[in-house]
A = this chain, B = another copy of it.
Amino acid sequence: MVSDLFAWKPVGVAARADGPRLGCLATPHGRVETPAFIPVGTKATVKGVLPETLREIGVQMVLANTYHLALRPGADVVRSLGGLHAMMAWDGPILTDSGSFQVFSLAALSEVTDDGVVFRSHIDGAEITLTPESSVAVQNDLGADIIMALDVCPPYPCPREEVAEAVRLTLAWARRCRAAHQRKDQALWAIVQGGVEGDLRRECAEHLVEMDFPGYAIGGVSVGEGHEHLRNVVGATAPLLPADRPRYLMGVGELRDVVAAVGLGVDLFDCVLPTRNGRNASAYTADGMIRLRNERFRTDSRPIEDGCDCPACRNFSRGTVRHLFVAGEMLGPVLVSMHNLRFYTRLFGCLRGWIRDDRFEAETQALLDRYYRNH
């Protein structure tokens, strides 16, 4: 049973276990129409973008990183400042990850035991232990609507025995997270691991489903395995998850991956790409990415993308944006981040419309053909 506070309900048709699906996720801070993209606000800010602008460009939900916030400013400080919603000045839904992905990718890892993971902070080298219980406690302090169970994310490629061990720990820790989590105004979701090993993914998914979480993530993808593996993992895992629970594909934002995963029944995605690319002057358009530092945009008075209604395209030319980057001005990264986020919210609006109108296959094929034509 899932509390109505956090129910995901299909829109239009009955919930389906595979194939593209339209839905609506309830949270204590409002609803999220799915499929939806969740911009990343690593350190309690979507870099350079004001929350009112996020709302204006159609963002429904944001993510913040437990690892980063636990190190700085500290979960106690976040709690003192009123929690993440107050700090981010964002009254919509927020999701926090468990911290494990950054522990495995950013920190100097000391040891993984049954109890948890010991690592050294990438900021000051301090030794820190993260357990299922402490991850939940930190996420309780941060106060997001959706929190994630501590998992072990193996790299790619990875020996099968290590993937199996990651699944064993992920299952044990999910159970302990569930026992530790008490706040009723936060939902705890579990993460399916298993690398590219189909039977391990199945084992992990089936045991997590037995534990009856209100939502499920597919983790451990977008770690270098490539599009075909990603598609296979999602295609094999999604149908194992309950049809009436939200599915979240962690860290995925490349267009062909998003479209494939939505087609396979995924509802939620988070990714740093739109903002990271934006800070590097790479702008998304329907015809592919353009690199706005390029000399050819010097006197280009067109907007970044014709027809786009974002604050950058409504007001600034490519030539101006190029100048701002070349001159080292903050407004350059700010503007292209806004544009890229708007590109994603428009894309997901299209995906939802195409599912609703039963045109998903044809329209997404045309979209991908056009986007990747020049690649």
Given A72-B323, A301-B80, A48-B331 contact (CB < 8 Å): yes
Known: A77-B299, A87-B320, A320-B87. A329 touches B51 (CB 8 A): no
Interface residue? A86 (CB, 8 A): yes
Cα separation A73 to B324 with both chains bound (whole Å): 9
User: Is A180 part of the binding interface, using a Cβ–Cβ cutoff of 8 Å?
Assistant: no
| Chain A interface category by residue count | 35 or more
- Which residues of A from 191 to 241 have beta carbons under 8 Å from B? none
Are A47 and B77 also in contact (CB < 8 A) when A87-B317, A317-B82, A323-B72 are?
A: no
Complex contacts, A320 vs chain B, CB 8 Å: 44, 81, 86-87, 89
Q: Flag if A331 contacts B81 (CB, 8 Å).
A: no
Asked if A316 is an interface residue, CB under 8 A from chain B, the answer is: yes
Are B73 and A330 neighbours in the complex by a CB distance under 8 Å?
A: no
Chain A 20-54 interface mask (CB, 8 Å, partner B; 1/0): 00000000000000000000000111011111100
- State which residues 308-342 of A face B: CB under 8 Å: 311, 315-317, 319-320, 322-324, 326-327, 329-331, 333-334
**Residue contact A330 to B331, C-beta cutoff 8 Å:** no
- Asked, given contacts A89-B316, A298-B73, A317-B87, whether A48 binds B311 with beta carbons under 8 Å apart, the answer is no
B residues near A89, Cβ cutoff 8 Å: 315-316, 320
Beyond the given A48-B331, A73-B323, please list 18 additional residue pairs across the A-B interface where CB-CB is below 8 A: A43-B327, A45-B324, A45-B330, A47-B329, A47-B330, A47-B331, A50-B311, A50-B315, A52-B315, A72-B326, A73-B326, A77-B319, A81-B301, A81-B319, A86-B301, A87-B320, A89-B316, A330-B333
Task: State the A residues within 8 Å of B (CB).
Answer: 43-45, 47-52, 68, 72-73, 77, 80-82, 86-87, 89, 298-299, 301, 311, 315-317, 319-320, 322-324, 326-327, 329-331, 333-334
